[in-house]
Amino acid sequence: MSVQSNKDAPGIPLGGDQPKIAESPDVFQLPTKCVKSAMDIQAWEHSEAYHELIGFINSVSMSIQGKKISSEVPKTAGVDKVLGLFGKLNAWVEEIPPVDQPQRFGNSAYRTWHQRMRENAEEMLLEILPEAKKGAIVELLAYFVDSFGNSTRIDYGTGHELAFVFFLCCLFKVGVFERSDQAAVGLQVFDKYLTFVRRLQLTYRMEPAGSHGVWSLDDYQFIPFIWGSAQLALNSPIEPAQFLDENIIARHKNDYMFISCIDYIQKVKTGHFAEHSNQLWSISAVQSWSKINSGLIKMYQKEVLAKFPVIQHVVFGTLMAFKPVKPGTLLSSVRLGFVPQSGGGRTALPKLDPPK
Q: Which domain holds residue 203?
A: 32-316
Report the candidate in 280, 227, 277, 287 with the shortest Cα–Cα distance to residue 257: 227
Q: Among 22-31, 128-137, 294-303, 339-348, where is mean pLDDT lowest?
A: 339-348
Name the phi and psi angles at 259, rounded to 5. -70, -35
Mean pLDDT, the chain, as a whole number?
A: 87
Residue 337 — pLDDT band, cuts 50, 70, 90? confident
Look at residue 47 and tell me if it is in a domain: yes
Look at residue 336 and tell me if it is in a domain: no
Look at residue 170 and tell me if it is in a domain: yes
Distance CA 131, CA 6 (A): 11
The strand pair at 207-208 and 155-156 is best described as parallel
For the segment 170-197, the average pLDDT, to the nearest whole number, is 97
pLDDT at position 284, please? 85
Look at residue 268 and tell me if it is in a domain: yes
Look at residue 293 and tell me if it is in a domain: yes
Of all residues in the chain, the percent with pLDDT exceeding 70 is 86
What pTM was computed for the model? 0.88
Q: With a cut of 80, say whether residue 16 has pLDDT above it.
A: no
Residue 208, beta-bridge partner list: 156
What CATH number should be reported for the domain holding residue 303?
Answer: 1.20.120.1150
Residue 129 — pLDDT band, cuts 50, 70, 90? very high
Look at residue 156 and tell me if it is in a domain: yes
pLDDT at position 201, please? 96
Look at residue 265 and tell me if it is in a domain: yes
Count up the domains in the chain and report the number: 1
Q: What is the pLDDT of residues 276-320, one digit of tens each?
A: 777 887 888 898 999 999 999 999 999 999 999 999 999 999 999
Look at residue 340 and tell me if it is in a domain: no
- Provide the H-helix boundaries in the chain: 41-45, 48-64, 77-95, 109-128, 137-145, 158-173, 182-184, 190-203, 223-231, 246-252, 257-268, 273-276, 278-283, 289-300, 308-311
Residue 270 or 26, more confident = 270
